[in-house]
């Protein structure tokens, strides 16, 4: 009887921790990145991913106020911006307070296209399943973000110049729902310039050549979202393996920032040993 009580109490504590505490334990992960090509000066890049805006979230709002206290050279957002239609105005209000000198660029992820209900979210863990039947207002999201000065890239490239350093920002549409066209996205690739790639999933690298990209930004994995002690994440949503689910990794000559993400799908509101993060890179 005592053993059962202890087990039930432990399970209740673990549930509360995962659902109430860790999902709000927002971190800023800072990394220094050295590229093969040189920049005129170190660049600060804020990498956001998988925010899953859905409804009011005071703890997340406070975290964004903290991020808004810094000014970055560049901000990139790698998809799953919203979780449902209610997230659109919240996304615009929250993201528009962030400050950058040379541009804010975004690509879409699977949740920007589809509103995942519980069955969709569970089936999503198995390959070959149909897409969810409920859509999200993707075009409204794009127009709203662009009205706030955030450039949404869908298989296209923009060039920026930061005090003499030319950077091509290639933005791939969502690879996880079959919308990515890597050859179209990279048709303006220029080996003489610095090439950044924004892609919701790092799995896009299966279709990318060696040394084609200098620095890439991804999410989608949520770092596994739930990591077991000594075992690690059970589900990572990347075919590259668990070592590529989060952090700074190398693929085909590219340095890749893979974010654990800031939010979660609202039907799976848990995190364990995998706190939400915004990534700040100092690139030179
Ligand atoms: Fe996500």
Distance between Cα 24 and ligand 1 center (Å): 16
Distance between Cα 191 and ligand 1 center (Å): 31
pLDDT digits (tens, 9 = 90+) for 21-31: 999 999 999 99
Distance between Cα 54 and ligand 1 center (Å): 12
- pLDDT at residue 119, rounded to an integer: 87
Distance between Cα 172 and ligand 1 center (Å): 16
As a dihedral over the C-alpha atoms of residue 121, residue 125, residue 127, residue 129, rounded to 10 degrees, the angle is -20
Distance between Cα 83 and ligand 1 center (Å): 8
Mean pLDDT over each residue of the chain, to the nearest integer: 96
Give yes or no for a contact between 26 and 59, defined as CB atoms under 8 angstroms apart. yes
- pLDDT at residue 122, rounded to an integer: 82
Q: What is the mean pLDDT of residues 72-86?
A: 98
Beta partners for residue 135, in sequence order:
114
Distance between Cα 265 and ligand 1 center (Å): 7
State in words which class domain 2-283 has.
Answer: alpha beta
Three-state SS at 15: helix
pLDDT digits (tens, 9 = 90+) for 173-208: 999 999 999 999 999 999 999 999 999 999 999 999
- pLDDT at residue 21, rounded to an integer: 95
CA separation for the pair 226, 228 (Å, rounded): 7
Starting at the edge strand that comes first in sequence, how are the strands of the sheet with 156-162 ordered? 156-162, 165-171, 194-198, 215-218, 254-258, 247-251
| Exposure string over 173-194, b if 16+ CB within 10 A, otherwise e | bbbbbebbbbeebbeebeeebb
| pTM reported for the whole predicted model | 0.96
- pLDDT at residue 109, rounded to an integer: 98
- pLDDT at residue 125, rounded to an integer: 75
Which pLDDT band, with edges at 50, 70 and 90, does 126 fall under?
A: confident
pLDDT at 282 over 90: yes
What are the backbone angles phi and psi of residue 139, rounded to the nearest 5°?
A: -65, -40
Distance between Cα 218 and ligand 1 center (Å): 10
Distance between Cα 111 and ligand 1 center (Å): 7
Within 8 A by CB and 6+ apart from 53, the residues are 81, 82, 83, 87, 88, 90, 91, 94, 263
- pLDDT at residue 56, rounded to an integer: 95
pLDDT at 234 over 90: no
Distance between Cα 264 and ligand 1 center (Å): 6
pLDDT at 138 over 80: yes
- pLDDT at residue 123, rounded to an integer: 82
Beta partners for residue 250, in sequence order:
255
Residue 187 to residues 85, 138, 156, 168, 172: CA-CA distances in angstroms?
A: 33, 25, 8, 11, 12
CA separation for the pair 223, 269 (Å, rounded): 14
Distance between Cα 273 and ligand 1 center (Å): 17
Alpha carbons within 13 angstroms on the beta-carbon side of residue 122 total 2
Distance between Cα 269 and ligand 1 center (Å): 12
Distance between Cα 113 and ligand 1 center (Å): 12
CA separation for the pair 168, 157 (Å, rounded): 7
Distance between Cα 50 and ligand 1 center (Å): 4
CA separation for the pair 59, 81 (Å, rounded): 17
Beta partners for residue 227, in sequence order:
233
Distance between Cα 193 and ligand 1 center (Å): 30
- pLDDT at residue 3, rounded to an integer: 87
Domain ranges of the chain: 2-283
DSSP per-residue codes, 143-154: HHHHHTTPEE-S
- pLDDT at residue 271, rounded to an integer: 97
């Amino acid at each position: 009887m005592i053993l059962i009580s202890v087990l039930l109490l432990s399970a209740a504590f673990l549930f509360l921790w995962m659902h109430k505490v860790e999902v709000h334990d927002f971190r800023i992960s800072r990394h220094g990145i050295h590229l093969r090509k040189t920049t005129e000066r170190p660049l600060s890049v804020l990498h956001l991913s998988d925010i899953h805006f859905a409804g009011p979230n005071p703890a997340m709002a406070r975290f964004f106020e903290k991020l808004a206290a810094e000014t970055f050279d560049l901000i990139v957002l790698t998809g799953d911006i919203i979780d449902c239609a209610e997230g659109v105005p919240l996304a615009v209000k929250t993201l528009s307070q962030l400050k950058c000198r040379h541009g804010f660029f975004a690509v879409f992820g699977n949740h920007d296209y589809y509103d995942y209900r519980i069955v969709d979210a569970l089936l999503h863990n198995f390959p070959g399943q149909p897409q969810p039947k409920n859509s999200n207002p993707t075009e409204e999201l794009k127009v709203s973000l662009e009205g706030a000065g955030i450039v949404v890239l869908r298989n296209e490239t923009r060039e920026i110049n930061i005090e003499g350093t030319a950077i091509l920002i290639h933005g791939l549409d969502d690879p996880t729902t079959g919308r990515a066209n890597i050859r179209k996205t990279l048709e303006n690739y220029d080996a003489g310039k610095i090439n950044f790639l924004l892609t919701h999933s790092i799995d896009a690298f299966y279709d990318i050549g060696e040394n084609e990209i200098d620095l890439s930004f991804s999410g989608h994995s949520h770092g596994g979202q739930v990591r077991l002690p000594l075992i690690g994440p059970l589900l990572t949503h990347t075919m590259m393996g668990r070592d590529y689910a989060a952090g700074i990794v190398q693929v085909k000559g590219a340095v890749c920032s893979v974010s654990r993400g800031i939010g979660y799908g609202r039907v799976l509101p848990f995190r364990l040993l995998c706190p939400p993060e915004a990534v700040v890179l100092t690139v030179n």
